[in-house]
Amino acid sequence: MAEKSFVKGAFVLAIAGVLSKILGAFYRIPFARIVGDEGVGIYNLAYPLYTLLLALSTAGIPLAVSKLIAECEEREEYATSRRIFRLALMVLTIIGISAAMALFVNADFVAENILKDKRASLCLKAIAPAMIFTCLMAVFRGYFQGLQQMVPTAVSQVIEQFVRVGTIFAALYILTPYGIEVVVGGASLGAAVGGCAAFIFLFGTMFWYRKKFPSSEGKTPAKIEKNSAIIHKVLYLAIPISIGALVLPVMQAIDAVMVLRRLEAAGFGHKEAVSLYGHLSGYAGPIINLPFIITTALSASLVPAIAEAMAAGRREEVSNNYRSAMLIAIIIVLPATVGLMTLATPICQLLYAQSAAGVALFWAAPTVLVVGLYQTSAGTLQGLGKVMIPMQALIIGAIVKIILTYYLTAMPILNIRGAALGTVIGFAVAAIYNVYHVSQNIGKEWFHFNDHLFKPLASVCSMGIIVVIGYKLMFALSKSNGVATLLAIALGGGVYFIVLLAIGGIHTEEIRKLPKIGNALANLVIKLKLTRD
C-alpha cells in the first residue's frame, strides 16, 4: 500500500510539475526576446538570491512536517499531527514576514554590493512579498503530503505558476515602454501574486478537508508534549533538510556572485559577461530544470512513504521504494542528459533564436543526471531521518563547485563552459556521497547492475545515435531547424523507450503501478509485444 501511495504521489506531483513548466515556457520565450540578453541577465541576477533565501526559509518545512505527520498518522496520533501543523504555521508566519521585510529593506545594498548591478534592486523589492505566501504554503503542503494526499500540493503549484505567468505577461505588455529595469521588476512581482493565489486555494482546501473529515480530529489522545518540544522536532528536521534542498539555488547563487567577475577576469567586457551568464542561467538553466520535475516529485513523495514504512518496521519496503525511485530517476535523467547534449544548439535556436547559448547548454546538460540522483537519494535519507547527510553532501559539492568555477571560468578557452563544468563535477560528488550513505543504511541489495546501469546505458546509446542521424536527415529534407529538432526529439524518445522495454529495462508490473493509466498502458505494451515480460 505504501509503495502504491509513493508511486501515485510522485505521478501526481510530476504531472503538476509538467503543467507548471509548460506554463513557464509561455513566458520564457517572449520574455527573452523582448528584454534581450541583458534583461534576462538582470532578472537572473536577482532571482537566484530569492530562491536561496526561500529555500533556507521553507524548503525543509514541507518535508519535515510531512515526515512527522506520516509517523503520527501511522501511530493514529491524529491530534498530535494537527498540533504539528498549527505550530509549524506559527513559526513560518514569523519567518516569512521577517524575511520579506529584510529582503525589501536591503534590496538596494544587495543589488549594488553583492550582485554588482543596481538595476536588480527593483526585482528584489518586487519579489520580497512572495516570501510570506510561500512560507505559509509550505506548511499546508507539508500537512497534506504527510497524509500522502498530493493533489492539493499539485493543484496549488499549477495555480501559482498560472497566475505568476499571467502577471509576467501583463508586465511585458504594460511596462515595456518604461525600460528594461521596470519590466523585469514587474515580471518579478509575479512570484508574489502567484503565491497569494495558491495560498488562498490551500487555505480553502484545508477548510473543506476539516469539514469533510472531522472524525480524525482529536479522537486519539495526543502524546503530552510541550509546544517547544514539537517546534524543536520540526526545526531539527527542517533546518538540515532546507540546507540539503539548496542544491539548485546554491548553484544559481554561486554563479550569480562569481561568474560575472571570473568572465571579466578572462578578458570579457561587462556587457558581454552578462550576456554569457544569461546563456547559462536564463537559457540553459530553464531547460535543464525540466527533468527535475520527476526527481523533485520522487523526493517529495519518498519522504512520507519511507518515514511511514520505518515507523511500522517495514524495512524491506524501504529498500523496494528506493530501488523503484532510483530506477525511475535513471531512466528519465539519463536520456534527458544525452538528448540535451546531442541537440543543444538546435534546441536553443528553436526556443530562443539564440544558437550561441547551445554551448552553455551542452556543457551544463550532465547536471540533469547528477542532480537528479542527488535529489532522489536525499529524499530517501530524509525519510530515514538521516537529515544531516544531504546537507553534508551539498556542502562538499558546493566547495568543489566554487573552486572549479573560480579557476575554470577565468580560463579564456573555457569561459562559461568552466562554470557549467564546475556545477557538474561539484554535484556529482554530492550525489555519490548521498548514494553511498543510503547503501550504508539500507544495504546494497537495492542496486541491480542490469536494471540501474547496463540496460539504461544500452538504450540511451541507441537513442543518441538515432537522434544525431535523424536530425541531420530531417534537416536536410525540411531545411527547418524547428521541424528537424522536434522530430529528432520524438524519434529519440520513442527509440529509447522501445529499446528499454524490449531488453527488459522496464517491467509491466512497474507500469501497472501508475495510477489510472497503469493497467491500460501495461496491456498495450504486452499487446504490441514491446517487452520480454
pLDDT tens for 148-167 read 788 888 889 889 888 988 88
Q: Are residues 256 and 203 in the same domain?
A: yes
Q: Which of 432, 447, 462 is the last residue of a domain?
A: 447
- The pLDDT tens digits for 475-520 are 999 889 989 999 999 999 999 988 988 888 777 666 666 655 556 6
Give yes or no: residues 245 and 338 share one domain: yes
Percent of the chain with pLDDT over 70: 87
Which of 447, 476, 491 is the C-terminal boundary of a domain?
447
Which pLDDT score, from 0 to 100, does residue 312 have?
A: 73
Alpha-carbon span 470 to 282, nearest angstrom: 28
pLDDT digits (tens, 9 = 90+) for 25-51: 677 777 777 777 777 777 777 776 666
Q: HSE-up of 77 (CA within 13 Å, CB side)?
A: 16
Q: Are residues 188 and 336 in the same domain?
A: yes
What backbone torsions phi and psi does residue 196 show, to the nearest 5 degrees? -60, -45
Segment 355-366 mean pLDDT: 91
Q: Do residues 341 and 418 share a domain?
A: yes
Q: Is the pLDDT of residue 532 over 60?
A: no
Give the whole-angstrom CA distance, residue 344 versus residue 80. 51
- Taking each helix axis from N to C end, the angle separating 130-146 and 2-54, rounded to the nearest 10 degrees, works out to 160
Q: Give the CA distances from residue 494 to residues 327, 451, 486, 488, 491, in Å, rounded to whole numbers and listed in that order.
A: 18, 19, 12, 10, 5
Together in a domain, 379 and 516: no
The pLDDT tens digits for 72-90 are: 777 777 777 788 888 888 8
Average pLDDT over residues 295-322: 81
Cell numbers describing residue 285: 538553466
Look at residue 436 in the predicted model and tell me its pLDDT. 94
For the chain, give percent helix, strand, coil, nearest 5. 85, 0, 15
> What pLDDT sits at residue 451?
86
For residue 336, name the pLDDT band (cuts at 50, 70, 90): very high
Give yes or no: residues 384 and 520 share one domain. no
Range of the domain at 214: 2-447
Identify the domain boundary among 447, 469, 490. Answer: 447
Whether residues 33 and 93 share a domain: the answer is yes
Contact assessment for residue 425 and residue 419, using Cβ atoms and an 8 Å cutoff? no
**Same-domain check for residues 386 and 369:** yes
pTM (2 decimals)?
A: 0.75
Contacts of 141 (CB under 8 A, 6+ apart): 62, 152, 153, 156, 202
DSSP strands (E only) in 453-525: none
182-237: pLDDT as tens digits = 888 888 888 889 989 999 999 999 888 777 766 444 444 555 567 777 788 787 88
pLDDT of residue 276: 86
DSSP code, position 19: H
- CA 267 to centroid of chain Cα atoms: 34
Give the position of cell 553583492: 114
- Under 8 Å between Cβ of 201 and 45: no
pLDDT digits (tens, 9 = 90+) for 429-484: 999 999 999 999 888 888 888 888 999 999 999 999 999 999 999 999 988 998 99
